[in-house]
Every structure is written in structure tokens, then in C-alpha cells.
Structure 1
Amino acid sequence: MNTFERSGKHLAIQSWQKLNSKLFSGFTTREGGNSTMAFHSMNMGFHVNDDPDKVRKNRKLFSEDIGFPVENWIGSKQVHAENIVKVSKEDRGSGSLDFDTAIPDTDGLYTSDENILLTSLYADCVPLYFYAPNDNLIGLAHAGWKGTVAKIGPAMINIWQEKESVDVKSILAAIGPSIGHCCYEVDDRVINEVKVALDGDTVDTVYKKNAAGNYQLNLKKLNEILLLRAGVLPENIIVSDQCTSCQNDVFFSHRKDKGKTGRMMSYIGRKGD
């Protein structure tokens, strides 16, 4: 079921925002920005050789759209690993208007502070969202296949349990738009890592061999299974049905665009009084 609903030119996790009107969470599209050519038009990434001034304009445009000042955003330099950092108000502005100031070597961010917008960048990888309403914790994780098999999703759950004393049964998780199994072909090297992540179990819904002898991998399903094994309740996980490669008019896709493309942004933040 698609739970990322249209809100203007971006997508929002409306069910979460109904729980808390001060919570803003969702995913940008490629629509409505200033970038040109391969980055047309709402590219949010500084690291893809787009004109940085256009990226800044895109970010400021989106900040006005959701009413969250770009100076309050926090971003990271993603490395396809399982590193997770807790951030605070003192980190606001990191990576918001340039790439150099982003939190280094980090694919997961979380906070308990208000008036911070956590951000992460995508062009096929899986965006993971976390919300603990009873503990006022929010988080994001970037899960490409490497981060997924490194279990970055369960790592966030474990940190919240061990360091923040959160009851796992209260944690809400969302799996955002990403490349679908329909378009994501991988080889034995990747599938062997997937099998390790699944503790050797064979799960038909995660990967299937195709006619070419490779595999169609369902990264969303793999992340969902790993979150369930980490203790998140099934009714607390929502999953987007949108494929970034199939819907190339709406999303940037690294595979569809043959490596030269822009980036969408996942985001989550809580506004204060």
C-alpha cells in the first residue's frame, strides 16, 4: 500500500502527520525546481556536479514549501554503511547549504530536539524513517543494498532501545520510494550478502532468479523483514509502493538515468511551539 501521499510537488507521510500536526515527514520529487539537463528540476544533492547555486535555490524553495528554514536542516555525507549519529540543535545547518559542512561518514541520523529537519539523499536507494511518539525521537536512515545488508535499520532500532530506553513496540517505521524489484537486477555477490543478512534463510519475496541468470531484488521487502526481526510490530511499518525507476518522470533514478542524475531528499522534523 502506498502511504506516501501527494502534498503539492512532494510526498508526505500523512498518517504520521495526523498523529502529530507538528511532525513533518516525507520525500521530495524531481518536480518544481531550478536545475537543468540531467538534474531537471528539483535536484537536492550538492555532490552530483549540479550548479550549487541552483541546488541552494531548490532547497530554499522547498524550505518555504514546508515552512522549515533551510538553516535548521541537517544532512550527512553518505557512505553506504551503517553509521548512525545522534544530532542536536547545535548541529543545525550542517550540510544544509553546501556539501563540505555535512556530518561526515554517516548514513543514519536521529534526534530528540525540535526545530531540526533531518535530511538524506536518494536516487534509487531505500529511505527509512523512524518515529517514537512516546519518546519524541525521530530518525532517518539511507539504505542502499550495502547499508541494508549491514542492517542499518535494525541498528537504529537497537540504538533507540539501548541508548534511549525506547520500547520497540512503540516505534513506527516507514519505507519510502526506491527502486522496485521490477527494475533492480543484481548478481550473486549481492545475493550472497543478502543471504547472510537473512541468516541463511531463503525468502521468496526478497529475491528471485531471472532468465538472465541474475536476480531481481526487493530491497524494500528485505528492509521490512529486517525491521520485523528487530522487533518492530508489523502494524507499525508502512511501505511505499512507488518505484523510482518506473516513475522516472517523478523521481531521479541512478539506474534509469545511467548514473548521471539528481537526488531526492527524505526529511523528518518536529516543530516546536
Structure 2
Amino acid sequence: MEPFAYNHQSYFLIKNWMEQYPGLAAGITTKIGGSSTGVYEDFNMGFHVGDQLDAVCSNRSQLADLIQFPLKSWVGAEQTHDTVIRKITKNDRGKGSDSYDSAFKGTDGFYTNEEGILLTLCYADCVPLFFISPIHRMIGAAHAGWKGTVNGIARKMIEKWGEEGIPPNEIFAVIGPSICEKCYIVNDYVINFVENTLEDVEKKPYNTIKEGQYTLDLRKLNKMILLKAGIPEKNIQVTKLCSSCDQSEFFSHRRDQGKTGRMLSYIGWKETSE
């Protein structure tokens, strides 16, 4: 079943999570309905892509109103395709919410068990990973491009939660809108890293097109890594939405030849008390 539901032109929700867990906000934005112009049209969430700062801030404020989660409670990152994951507290709120300079440096994943914090990350083909352990009220998000994927950012999130006393069988994951296998062509250099990541797996998440050229399914690869980390298959949901195919709804770094905006993934518990 598709985990993402089109609730509003500007964002998709992880509908079944939000229905099961009251107070949860979780989803990803589209490119529709904002103030940005040109190649960033319309709803660009990325500060770092060359868009006007005022437009990005306006778009973020608009999303904050739509999902009823104040901008001052957001956290954001300077994403570097690495595997650094940070635990966030209320003291961190506002970092990266309205400027790139204030974002967490060199960070590609967040997690928290506190209310009133919205974990946000930006995408334009890379894989958004969402995590929740309802029993422990823990939530998390990770940005998994091919580098972050093969270096195990998904596994590292599970390990971080293990240090918090959360076993893999109590963790649920959603793999979000990103570039699909048929749109993602890679070379031997990338495939060698994939091979090293999945040495003991027979069925590989890629297919050969011709010598030195392959289609790579990053979503399947992340699912395989999560399974290997101990997450039960029934706890993992994978979208069919492709950032490259779905041209009217998503930005795509590959399709748009590097000149494009960014979607924003978000997950947070709304505050139930002051």
C-alpha cells in the first residue's frame, strides 16, 4: 500500500502513521503552490540552491501554517551526503529553520523523542527515510543519496536507537519519494560501493544496461539495508512516487540538470502541553 497520501497540492502525508499516532506530523512537500520563480518554481524549500532568501522563507512559513507546526520549532541541516546523525532537543529549535547559516553543519540525519520539534531535511532525488518507534515516542529522519546509502546511514539510525534501548523490531520505517530505478543510471564506480554494502546478498538492487552502465534502485537498496539491520519487513513501507518521473509534483536534480529547487521532508510530534 502507498504510504503517502496527497492531502494538499503542496505536500504529501504519511497518512497511516498520522492516523495511528495522534499528534504526529509527517510528510514531504511538492513543488506546487509557493512564491519561488524560474527554475525554483514554485515551492522550493532549499536555502542553498540559489533561490531568493525571501521566497524560501515565505514558502517555509506557508508550510508551517499548512501543517500547523510553527517555523521556530523546526530544525534543518547543511546536508553533505555523509552519515552524521544528531539527537535533537528543544534547545535546538530554530536552527536551520529560516537560514542556511544557522543549520546543523555536516548533518544528514536527526532523531528525537521530544514534542514540539519538527525534523526537516531537503531533497531533489535522494531518498528520504522516516523512522518511528511509537512505544518509545522516538522519531527520526535521514537523507540517503547513494553515498549516504552505501555508507549505511539507515543502519546507523537503527544503531543510534539501539543505544537508546530501542530494539529493531520496535522500529517502523517509511522510504519516501525519490528517483526510481529506471531514472537512475550509474557507473561501475557507484556499483562497486553497492557490491561492498551487500556482499552476502544474492538478489542485487541494480540491473546492467550495458558494460559500465546500470540502473540502480536506491529505495530497494535502503530497504535491504534496513532488513539487514533487523527491521522486520512488515515494519517497512516503500513509496512508488518518483521525483524524476513525477515532473509536475517534484524537483529532480537529475531531470532538471542540477538547476532546481528542493522538497522538504518533515516529521515531528506536536506539543500537547506547555
* Fold match (TM-score > 0.5): yes
Measured against aligned partners, the alpha-carbon deviations of 1:32-66 in whole angstroms (never above 9, x if no partner) come to 10100100000000000000100000000000000
Partners of 2:200 and 2:247 lie apart in 1 by 34
Rounded Cα–Cα distance in structure 2 between residues aligned with 1:212 and 1:93: 48
> How far, CA to CA, are the matches of 1:241 and 1:211 in structure 2?
25
Q: Could you tell me whether the CA contact under 8 Å between 1:207 and 1:216 is conserved in 2?
A: yes
Aligned equivalents of 2:129 and 2:35: distance in 1?
Answer: 27
1:194 aligns with 2:194: yes
The answer to whether the Cα contact below 8 Å between 1:195 and 1:202 also exists between their aligned partners in 2 is: no
- Distance in 1 (alpha carbons) for counterparts of 2:193 and 2:210: 21
- Paired with 1:134 and 1:202, the residues of 2 have a C-alpha distance of 34
Query: Aligned residue for 1:92?
Result: 93
1:126 equivalenced with 2:127 (yes/no): yes
CA distance in structure 2 between the partners assigned to 1:114 and 1:41 by the alignment: 30
RMSD: 0.9
Q: Indicate the residue corresponding to 1:224 in structure 2.
A: 223
1:3–1:240 contact (8 Å) kept in structure 2 = yes
Aligned equivalent of 1:244: 243
Greater Cα shift, 165-174 or 43-52: 165-174
Q: Identity rate of aligned residues, in percent?
A: 47
**Counterpart of 1:121 in structure 2: which amino acid?**
C
8 Å Cα contact 2:188/2:212 also seen in 1: no
List runs of 5+ in structure 1 lacking aligned partners: none
Whole-Å separation in 2 of the counterparts to 1:82 and 1:234: 23
Distance in 1 between the 2:212 and 2:103 partners?
40
TM-score by length of 2: 0.97
Counterpart in the other structure of 1:183: 183
Between 207-216 and 217-226, report the one with greater CA deviation: 207-216
Which amino acid counterpart does residue 255 of structure 1 have in structure 2?
Answer: R
Deviation at 1:154, TM superposition (A): 0.7
8 Å CA contact 2:30–2:43 kept in 1: the answer is yes
Counterparts of 1:212 and 1:177, CA distance in 2: 29
Contact 2:121 2:143 in 1 (8 A): yes
What secondary structure is seen at the aligned counterpart in 1 of 2:135?
coil
Alpha-carbon distance, 1:200 to partner: 5.0
Report SS of the residue matched to 1:6.
strand
Q: 1:26 is aligned with what amino acid? A: G
Q: Secondary structure at the match of 1:139?
A: strand
